[in-house]
Chain A
Amino acid sequence: AQSVAQPEDQVNVAEGNPLTVKCTYSVSGNPYLFWYVQYPNRGLQFLLKYITGDNLVKGSYGFEAEFNKSQTSFHLKKPSALVSDSALYFCAVRDGGSQGNLIFGKGTKLSVKP
């Protein structure tokens, strides 16, 4: 069965410092991986995806994610955090052998302090 784990409920960083939001996955086939961000009272916004190719994927708002097949991880990163990055971040996976819905992690709340 497909699953996604986000081991941290909350991540706190100071503005200007690098940030990492962790995600690990489990699928039976090739993974299709996504990161979404959710601001208060809003729907989810797509940030980036990994399908195939380079393990480092660049996305919106300066975010990037590193795919690591051996560790089954897809951690979200940003070199320099902004206060406006504070939001809820969701990792999601789709099994390459199936169709349809995404499987989401429980989300990680990112708090960036000035």
Chain B
Amino acid sequence: GAGVSQSPSNKVTEKGKDVELRCDPISGHTALYWYRQRLGQGLEFLIYFQGNSAPDKSGLPSDRFSAERTGESVSTLTIQRTQQEDSAVYLCASSLGQGLNQPQHFGDGTRLSIL
């Protein structure tokens, strides 16, 4: 597709379960970002991948959160032992390189609800 694709669009799960969120970036985009958007809040940076470099994990809120990316393609964000405070929209973005002037292109997000 032409844009960033995220799946699932909605996920409802019970507290304590693990969840996996998927992001397909725009083809050719070497940079990929994950953000979290809580209800009524701005975006919190989670993690950043650039090519084959080591990811910037500085925004991950706890060790329950992890993410992987295979080369310059799909990324998965995993949340283990989910808590109610994990409920949020998780947004993925990609950009053409890490250049400072490159805008980020966002997917529509995964709305995660923890019961």
Interface residues of A (CB under 8 A from B): 32, 34, 36, 41-46, 49, 51, 90, 94, 96, 99-107
Contacts and interface: CB of A to CB of B under 8 A. Distances in A.
Nearest to A49: B103
B3 to A, nearest CB: 8
A107 B35 CA distance: 15
5 contacts: A32-B100, A42-B108, A43-B93, A51-B101, A106-B42
B100 A104 contact: no
Contact of A101 (B41, B42, B59): B59
Interface of B: 4, 6, 33, 35, 41-43, 45, 48, 50, 56, 59, 91, 93, 98, 100-101, 103-109, 111
A90 B100 contact: no
B52 to A, nearest CB: 15
B42 A49 contact: no
Nearest to B92: A43
Contacts of A34: 103
B103 A101 contact: no
A96 B91 contact: no
Given A101-B48, A101-B56, A101-B59, A46 B42 contact: no
A94 B100 contact: yes
Given A36-B106, A43-B108, A100-B48, 12 more contacts: A34-B103, A41-B108, A43-B4, A51-B101, A96-B100, A100-B56, A101-B48, A102-B33, A102-B104, A104-B42, A107-B41, A107-B42
A106 B56 contact: no
A49 B103 CA distance: 8
A35 B21 CA distance: 26
B43 to A, nearest CB: 4
Nearest to A42: B108
A4 to B, nearest CB: 8
Nearest to B55: A100
A100 B111 CA distance: 24
Closest 6 CB pairs of A and B: A43-B106, A106-B42, A46-B103, A101-B45, A44-B106, A104-B43
